[in-house]
Amino acid sequence: MKLKCSSTMECLPLREPFEIARGVMTGVDVVVATLHDAQGHRGRGEAAGVDYDGESPASMTEQIAAVAPRLHADVTPAELMQWLPAGGARNALDCALWDLRAKQAASRVWTLAGLPAARPVQTAYTIGLGSPEEVRRKARAAQHMPLLKIKVDATRHVELLRIVREEQPNARLVVDANQAWSRTLLEQLLPVLQALGVELIEQPVPRGTDAQLRDLHSPIPLAADESCTDRGSLPPLRGLYAYINIKLDKCGGLSEALALAREAEAMGFGLMVGNMGGSSLAMAPAHLIAQDCAYVDLDGPLLLTHDRDAAMAYDGAQLGVMAPALWG
């Protein structure tokens, strides 16, 4: 017996353009994989893929179609890891498989994974790059968000952070440079970032150049994002970063994300979970990883014009547990 597999490409419109150091987005392009068994159970998974690695909805759809004939009724996540590389296609299929198995067992996915019951978590809220006026407006509108993640680049950084701090004197701040800095710039900025109360800096330097951070002794912890994909990426990051940012699109699904979190903790890394954008269907499996993370960045649906049916509930920064009708 085989599982029936289909995939659809969608563009999820953003409330307003979202800019980071790599460019500007007006919508999030995603693929939704759906698995059906012979008994009528359905499982779904959503992936945005890794755009800076050249992934697109079209390329992910092609990958899913290529392995669809091999999806037998008892297929396992381990087989998906053999058939597909880490990335969005495997993420969509892996999450769809977890959802399907939960529906088949009439159980919650955390039970199948041997985890404690999921509980609500507090997410960061991201403020994208923009003019000083735009950043001030967004910071003022986020008064109810206690943890703000501020996107910066090589030239727009301190001024924007000072604006956010003016508007949000009590907020916790995380800075995300998306690979736009050098060690020299980082060292120049560290004193003022520390004075502004920044508590974490994400991916300051381009991946592949992480060794320049050795012996930095930064007073603010650094988190590896683009430089951390799956478990194989961890060893070179030791001694350079205090945290890793786990994203299901990067590592290729919930199965690898769970293993990555365990191995990273054993190696002494702190945990962060993030997203490449998307709806509640993409945030739901990441919510399981969030249970053990010091930093949670699962605000993707808050940036969209609309979300899925049975969407996850956001009460300010509080992200509730997903309903079975959505996923898991």
In a domain, 324, yes or no: no
Put the strands of the sheet holding 23-36 in their side by side order. Answer: 4-20, 23-36, 42-47
CA distance 223 to 212: 14
> Please, are residues 201 and 180 in contact by the beta-carbon 8 Å criterion?
no
- Confidence (pLDDT) at 1: 85
Kindly report the pTM of this predicted structure: 0.95
In a domain, 232, yes or no: yes
Q: Is 97 in the same domain as 79?
A: yes
H-run or E-run covering 245: strand 243-246
Domain CATH code at residue 76: 3.30.390.10
Q: Is 160 in the same domain as 220?
A: yes
In a domain, 328, yes or no: no
CA distance 102 to 309: 19
- Domain hosting residue 20, numbered range: 4-112
Which of the following is catalytic: 103, 138, 151, 250? 151
Active site residue 151: yes
Q: Is 137 in the same domain as 224?
A: yes
Q: Is 35 in the same domain as 150?
A: no
Q: Is the dihedral of CA 205, 19, 244, 318 positive or negative?
A: positive
> Please, are residues 153 and 203 in contact by the beta-carbon 8 Å criterion?
no
Q: Is 20 in the same domain as 140?
A: no
Which of the following is catalytic: 138, 149, 247, 250? 247
Active site residue 4: no
Q: Give the start-end residues of each E strand in 131-289.
A: 147-151, 172-176, 198-202, 222-224, 243-246, 270-273
pLDDT tens-digit profile, the chain (328 residues): 899 999 999 999 999 888 787 878 889 999 999 999 999 999 999 999 999 999 999 999 999 999 999 999 999 999 999 999 999 999 999 999 999 999 999 999 999 999 999 999 999 999 999 999 999 999 999 999 999 999 999 998 999 999 999 999 999 999 999 999 999 999 999 999 999 999 999 999 999 999 999 999 999 999 999 999 999 999 999 999 999 999 999 999 999 999 999 999 999 999 999 999 999 999 999 999 999 999 999 999 999 999 999 999 999 999 999 999 999 9
